[in-house]
Structure 1
Amino acid sequence: MSEHFKTDSRQMLGRLRAIMAEDAGGQTRLDQITRLIAEEMRIEVCSIYLFRDEDTLELCATEGLKAEAVHQTRMRMGEGLVGRVARTGEVINTDNAPAEPGFRYMPETGEEAYSSFLGVPIQRLGEKLGVLVVQSKQARLFSDEEIYAVEVVAMVLAEMAELGAFVGEGAAMSARHQQAVLFRGASAQEGTAQGRVWLHEPRVVVTNPIADDPVRELTRLNEAVEALRVGVDRMLNSANGGDKDQTEILEAYRMFANSKGWMRRMEANIDSGLSAEAAVEKEQSAARARMGQVTDAYLRERLHDLDDLSNRLLRILTGQGNETGADMPADPILIARNIGPAELLDYGRTLKGIVLEEGSVGSHAAIVARALAIPLVIHANRITTEALNGDPILVDGDQGIVHLRPDDTVVSAFRDKMAMQAEAQQRYASIRDKPAETLCGQRIKLKMNAGLMADLPSLVGSGAEGVGLFRTELQFLIRNHMPKRAELSELYARVMDAAGEQRVVFRTLDIGSDKVLPYMKPNDEPNPAMGWRAIRVGLDKPGVMRMQLQALIRAAKGRPLTIMFPFVAQRDEFTAARAEMDKALERERILGHPIPAQIEVGAMLETPSLAFAPDDFYSEVDFISVGGNDLKQFFFAADRENERVRRRYDTLNISFLNFLEGIVYRCATLGTPLSFCGEDAGRPIEAACLAAIGFRTLSMRPASIGPVKSLLRRIDLGQLRELIHAERARGAQTVRPAVMDYLRDQM
């Protein structure tokens, strides 16, 4: 890059800063910018296209095209060359635009006279804002120096949009972060909440994208990078001798922090006229764009590392972030791209709701959110770029919907819904101590699922008859190292103490699939839900299983103990796990530790194969708990993390009910105690049908016990069972419509 070009680039940015400083409306600013770029680059056309909505680009300013086309010419994402730049986030540089694939002729603009086309995306950290285009009559390719100059200007335009520079009289854009926005995500934890936004990683706003003293900016960048390197080295020294995987991650951090290429690109950005912050963010935006196109899991992780380092560097340069002392609102709704279980537990019950851009219904965060009974919506795309700390927000975890900055009508309707839910909760509280006994005299045991000590008070508050599932993996997931046997034993003892005489079913470590320990090297499996997980991990790494079983035996202190092995697919897996249990008991006996007065060892039926296990298995096992969440996804071959398919299949499908009824019959015939555990157990209509086909114990989240009990106490299971059989004989695919009609008549 020549000295002449560097001077021109800084001169162009200097003139841009002067435009930003003027007291002018948004349209005036955009018009001035297109004129400036055309003059500085000595070309005939410069145009700015901005997104009016998620899929529509609009010509908002131009120098060289027909003035009457401004705010009239629009195109969809991917349409024409401009739409292609917007969709791919990649530069298009051609000397014969009409010959390019996808070229769209727009006669109202008069652009047919211009052969050369250069389109550059206007984007900020992956958020697409528009496209900056320059065109020329001369048929030529734009040089690397010219492309770089336009990219730098596009970066500044993105920052100006963030700062609201195009808002005002004659505005080309609506005021950012002020409009009401609706997000349709997916429900990971039911419930509703009203509050104010608290960003887990607040946006860093670059208020000074252009600088006129490159020497000073280079000094600031070098000082900030040095502080970053010192911080990474400090973390690495603390981790030395500790966990190998954590050390490897920090080594990757240090590699990036010392990358000469990364540093050289940021220095070039400063040399062209950007501030240190804008230089970092330009490289971060480029990395984010690459991240969206990389399919290799390892490379994506490394780009995530670079993204995290860039955020740290920006916070050093700007002093922005939650750690600077911003006050959390009294009614916080946490907004994040994703979050780990330990970080979520740090917030605790102060949160009213959680909204994530990523996440899954079985993720660590979802497990903790359920334990804390906090509404959680996942897959709320782009909410971290739209929300600001303190924004009013409504979270509907039942529907997977989020209203950011809602208008008064939406707020009023939402409050009515919350009031109705509160009224229902009062009604459920009145039957808390009454049994879940149906009109036909059948008594159904309703138990709760748990995973934290914080869950245990719900045993009394919800009216649960014990803990049907205590997830032991949370204590492994929230640490950066393997917990010690004594720590686990103490926790399990406290759980049993809190439960008193109530039975607690401890499920042994269920990791793998979407639950990967921070200190365990993840396996890049093509289908982790059907891969190395749960009991398969325990049997392959028996040391961990033995340690956990010993901790449970010691926690019992002679009291009765109930243990359940997860994801058993065939009899020999249970037999091998039971043998480990017997070895652990014998070892504790030899050591002189008290042995449980009674011990029950069960299995979770989560794979269809176990339903067809030999009769001897059903005699050998002390009890079976149907794990409905996994069983349903394997029965229908429908990934429960995939929104496209998981909602296609109904729990009340006749085929699935037939399958479940077969399990009920086998267990009844062979005298094996049976329960149903999972989300469907906590849905009143599904719970009623499960009871009708023979399940007498259901385990669910505490908040579901009231609604389920309320419905069960008002129905006759015999009538409901006859209805299901009649629908089966009729050839119906699902019993849901008929059951809904029946229940409406009973109310």
Structure 2
Amino acid sequence: MNAPTRGASSRVLLQKLRDVLASREGGQERLDIIVRLIAETMVTEVCSIYLRRDARTLELCATEGLNPDSVHLTRMRFGQGLVGRVAEQGQAVNTADATRTPGFRYMPETGEEIYSGFLGVPIQRLGESLGVLVVQNKAARKFSEDDLHGLEVVAMVIAEMAEAGAFTSTGDMGALAPPHSGPVFFRGIQGQEGVAEGVVHLHDPHIVIANPVSDDPDAEHARLHVALHKLRGEVDRMLDDDAVEDTGEAAEVLQTYAMFARDRGWITRIEGGIGEGLAAEVSVEKEQSSIRQRMSRMTDPYLRERFHDLDDLSNRLLRLLSGQRHDRHDIPENAVLVARNIGPAELLDYGPNLRGIVLEQGAVGSHAVIVARALAIPLVLQAGRITREALDGDTILIDGGEGAVHLRPEDSVRTAFREKMAMRAEAQEQYAALRDLPAQALCGSTVALTMNAGLMADLPSLAGSGAEGVGLYRTELQFLVRSKVPRRAEQAALYSRILDSGLGKRVVFRTLDIGSDKVLPYMRRTDEPNPALGWRAIRLGLDRRGVMRMQVQSLLRGANGRSLAVMFPMVAQFDEFVTARDLVLKEVEREQSMGHTIPEKLEIGAMLETPSLAFAPDAFFEMVDFLSIGGNDLKQFFFAADRENERVRRRYDTLNVSYLTFIAQIVDRCNRHKTPVSFCGEDAGKPVEALCFAAMGLRSLSMRPASIGPIKHLLRQCDLSEVRTIIDAACASGAQSVRPAVEGWLTERGIAF
């Protein structure tokens, strides 16, 4: 008799599981039937299912062969024992001598110590461990490869059944509570301040597969190949799009997509799952889970990126198979976008009507954060696992300032949150009343408050916020959201519209700040060990003179005779500024010789983002028309703490005595040379920090529009000379930070901050 083909036994078992799924049994009864069927089919004395109770805890939910009294009593953490090891690593453990295998944990209530043969496979969906499926034998049996493979297939179906709620129960000892049902709290990090209540709109919606098992492999193969044909057509159309250049990283990514969409190995593995009895969608997810497990173990960034491409391709294929297309323009009125991560172009595609954004990944300096701030949308980053917990339409509350997210909140939480929203709305009305008043402190000192911008969508905030102008316009955002370099005429037209929207107020254009984390879609990525300290900003601009010259020409033509202020980012030494300034002046001469109108007034400034520039020769301070302290980069270089790294970013306080002293030295040097200086960055938009900067002598601050009201409100209640006295006393006392002293002083006077 010929040996059965690989997957034959699993097909028989899957058909039995399909009957269980279609039955009217309760959740616990289904689990009990499943372990009995597996034990009978695989001829083992024991079969057990452990399911995840919380993010890091497994519970024995059903068993055939172990002590039945241990069900729902035996629990273990991920990583504990052989079962916990399978869940932690997402990999099978197959041993003929379990008790002597490293990691074995003795659980006396189960009676499993008499079983030597052990095979445990993860129950996982899309790379996330939901539990562990185990079979055991008294004899020293090492299970075959066919046994292992068959059990993995069955575990995949159990994962789909769990996701579909097949094991839920209302009893106290029920196997599981319904998935995606109870309230969940997430603690992320602040991306953009603000609070919002709305409903979840998933960037990549969940695909719940009602029938994970198929009894017609031929039909499933046909469905797969129809979907693959559509997928290849989509990728080919993207490659043929006129917006994608034939060369460059964008084209390379799409070419990789095209290659993967035709990869025989990837397709064969999916076909293999169908042959074993899985529905096409489940077979794709099975392969995708394997991909994600491999991704989690990779350290090479290039390989991780390529596997991410394959993961994204799997998502596209799943949507085609399920027919669940996602129209990003058809979103609820009160939508809160939930995604693993998102690029600036995709975020802009949703428009400014989102109530909030929650990302599972992301960094404080990412393009998505910049866009969210430009659109004044509350944003929380690094809310782990939220894409796996949330469903479209779930109620969600987010607090961007606290980095807090409440999913499906209880009524008491929702009531408290709404009270907080009402208080914020009342405060905003108070700030709006100050819109046309100066930010004048009680001592008579006035601080110019300007806004940061980077999109046309920012400019309507200019009038409403009370900003005196635009202290920083990030020109690179328009480059980042496009698939190829905008032409000179397009750039000039954009800069002209920006100045039009500026209503005659001063707008400071920062030249392209690209490189490091800001890689243009059409620019080849440079492999650098430390990109933040590498080839970026002015360094890249001076090496790629053509790009820089074209942008300067566009700025000059966009000004069309009006005043123009231009500043260069990341200047580290005097000669870089001299070279860049000479380039601008030569372009002015060239424009004039061609008969083009030149600006009536031209200011050429620099961003002070490196400590070295603070010690530049006096000639630099005499030559530069204005300086803007770029606080985000200056702070990370001053403290040698990567601002993208949460482990070190929060260790260092902006109001640290050393840092404030350094800021004061820069201000004093600028004052000696009568060089206008401002502070621009995330910290300029925080009231207590802004107050201390003003007390240290800064008379111009640039921030996101929403921060102008609160900071103006605080400044108008304070005497800057008193605040400076408090700061000086704290410094003299040997304190590490002046924050406690300043906040204590504000509290004593009943001044809210």
Question: Normalised by the shorter chain, which TM-score bucket?
Answer: over 0.9
Give the one of 500, 513, 524 matched to 1:497.
Answer: 500
1:644 corresponds to 2:641? no
3-state SS in 2 of match to 1:52: strand
Looking at structure 2, the residues matched to 480 and 535 of structure 1 have their Cα atoms a distance apart, in angstroms, of: 22
Aligned to 2:69, the other structure's residue is in SS state: helix
Q: Per the alignment, do residues 521 and 680 of structure 1 end up closer, same or farther by CA in structure 2, a change over 3 Å counting?
A: same
SS at match of 2:186: strand
Residue 744 (1) aligns with residue 751 (2)? no
C-alpha separation in 2, matches of 1:423 and 1:159: 47
Task: Write the mapping of 1:621-700 to structure 2, written as runs, cut at 5 A.
Answer: 621-700=624-703
Identity percentage of aligned residues: 63
**Residue equivalent to 2:161:** 160
Q: Does 1:532 align with 2:553?
A: no
More deviation, 428-437/243-252? 243-252
Q: In structure 1, which of residues 253, 256, 264 is the aligned counterpart of residue 257 of structure 2? A: 253
Aligned equivalent of 1:107: 108
CA distance in 1, matches of 2:343, 2:14: 41
Asked if residue 284 in structure 1 is aligned to residue 284 in structure 2, the reply is: no
- The separation in 1 between residues aligned to 2:471 and 2:535, in whole angstroms, is 25
Where does residue 85 of structure 1 map in the other structure?
86
1:304 paired with 2:296, answer no
Structure 2 CA distance for aligned equivalents of residues 65 and 272 of structure 1: 29
Determine the structure 2 residue equivalent to 1:464: 467
The corresponding residue for 2:119 is 118
* Equivalent position amino acid for 1:183 in 2: F
Amino acid at match of 2:302: Y
Give the one of 404, 407, 426 matched to 1:404: 407
**Aligned residue type for 2:387:** T
Is 1:179 matched with 2:182? yes
Look up the equivalent residue of 2:554 and give its one-letter code: A
Q: 1:212 to 1:667 in 2, by over 3 A?
A: same
Separation in 2 of the partners of 1:126 and 1:427? 49
Structure 1 residues 326 and 466 mapped into 2: Cα distance closer, same or farther (>3 Å)? closer
Aligned-partner Cα distance in 2 for 1:238–1:662: 53
Q: Is the 8 A contact 2:238 2:254 kept in 1?
A: yes
Once residues 629 and 725 of structure 1 are traced to their aligned partners in structure 2, the CA distance between those partners, rounded to angstroms, is 24
- Rounded Cα–Cα distance in structure 2 between residues aligned with 1:143 and 1:505: 69
Alignment of 1:730-741 (within 5 A): 730-741=733-744
Aligned with 1:412: secondary structure? helix
Q: CA deviation at 1:168?
A: 2.3
Distance 1:326 1:30, change over 3 A: farther
Cα deviations across residues 33-53 of structure 1 (Å, max 9, x unaligned)? 111100000011111111111
SS at match of 1:461: helix
CA change 1:272–1:634 in 2 (3 A) is same
Instruction: Identify the match of residue 563 of structure 1 among 550, 563, 566.
Output: 566
Moved more, 127-136 or 525-534: 525-534
Shift of residue 640, structure 1, vs aligned partner? 1.3
Matching residue of 1:580:
583
Q: 1:263 aligned to 2:267?
A: yes
Counterpart in the other structure of 1:138: 139
Aligned to 1:55: 56
Residues 1:227 and 2:225 are matched in the alignment: no
SS of alignment partner, residue 202 of structure 1? coil
Confirm whether residue 370 of structure 1 aligns to residue 373 of structure 2: yes
RMSD: 1.4
Deviations 1:693-746 (A, max 9, x none): 100001111110010000100111111111111111111111111101111223
Deviation at 1:284, TM superposition (A): 0.8
Amino acid at match of 1:419: A
One-letter amino acid of the counterpart of residue 292, structure 1: S
Q: Describe the superposition over 1:648-705 as per-residue Cα deviations: whole angstroms up to 9, x where unpaired.
A: 1111111111111110111111111110011111111111110101000011111100
Q: Distance in 2 between matches of 1:292 and 1:398?
A: 30
For 1:232-283, what per-residue CA distance to the aligned partner results, in whole angstroms no more than 9, with x for missing partners? 2232233676343222212211221111111211121111111111111111
Asked if 1:591 corresponds to 2:594, the answer is: yes
Q: Where do 5+ consecutive residues of structure 1 fail to align?
A: none
Tell me the amino acid that sits aligned with residue 315 of structure 1.
Answer: R
Is the 2:680–2:703 contact (alpha carbons within 8 Å) kept by the matching residues of 1? yes
Cα distance in structure 2, aligned partners of 1:473 and 1:237: 26
The code of the aligned residue for 2:292 comes to: R
How far is 1:159 from its partner?
A: 0.2
Tell me, yes or no, if the aligned pair for 1:201 and 1:321 is still in contact at 8 Å: no
Residue 297 (structure 2) pairs with residue 293 (structure 1): yes
Do the aligned partners of 2:329 and 2:350 also contact (CA within 8 Å) in 1? Answer: no
Query: How many angstroms apart in 1 are the aligned matches of 2:657 and 2:309?
Result: 48
Mapping for residues 380-419 of structure 1, pairs under 5 Å: 380-419=383-422
Distance, in Å, in 2 between the alignment partners of 1:707 and 1:5 is: 68
CA distance in 1, matches of 2:598, 2:274: 70
Q: Secondary structure at the match of 1:425?
A: helix
Unaligned runs of 5+ in 2: none
Is the counterpart of residue 8 in structure 1 residue 12 in structure 2?
no
| Contact 2:248 2:524 (8 Å CA) reproduced | no
Q: Is the 8 A contact 2:567 2:605 kept in 1?
A: yes
- The amino acid across from 1:80 in the alignment is G
Q: Which residue of 1 aligns with 2:215?
A: 212
| Aligned residue number for residue 244 of structure 1 | 248
Aligned residue runs from structure 1 range 305-454, under 5 A: 305-323=309-327, 327-454=330-457
The 2-side partners of 1:234 and 1:286 are apart by 29
Q: Give the 3-state SS of the residue equivalent to 1:299 in structure 2.
A: helix
Query: TM-score of the superposition, structure 1-length normalised?
Result: 0.98
Give how far 1:517 is off.
0.7
Aligned partner of residue 104 in structure 2, secondary structure: coil
Task: State the distance in 2 between where 1:193 and 1:427 align.
Answer: 20
TM-score w.r.t. the length of structure 2 is: 0.97
Partner of 1:73: 74
Give CA deviations for 1:623-645 in whole Å, capped at 9, x if unaligned: 11001111111111111112222
For residues 232 and 481 of structure 2, what CA distance do their matches in structure 1 show? 27
- Contact 1:25/1:169, CA 8 A, preserved across alignment: no
Q: Residues of 2 paired with 1:674 and 1:311: CA distance?
A: 49
Give the Cα separation in 2 of the matches to 1:433 and 1:94: 76
Deviation at 1:308, TM superposition (A): 1.3
Provide the C-alpha distance between the structure 1 equivalents of 2:54 and 2:529, rounded to a whole number of angstroms: 36
Which 4+ residue blocks in structure 1 deviate beyond 6 angstroms? Answer: none
Look up the SS of the partner of 1:443 in the other structure: coil
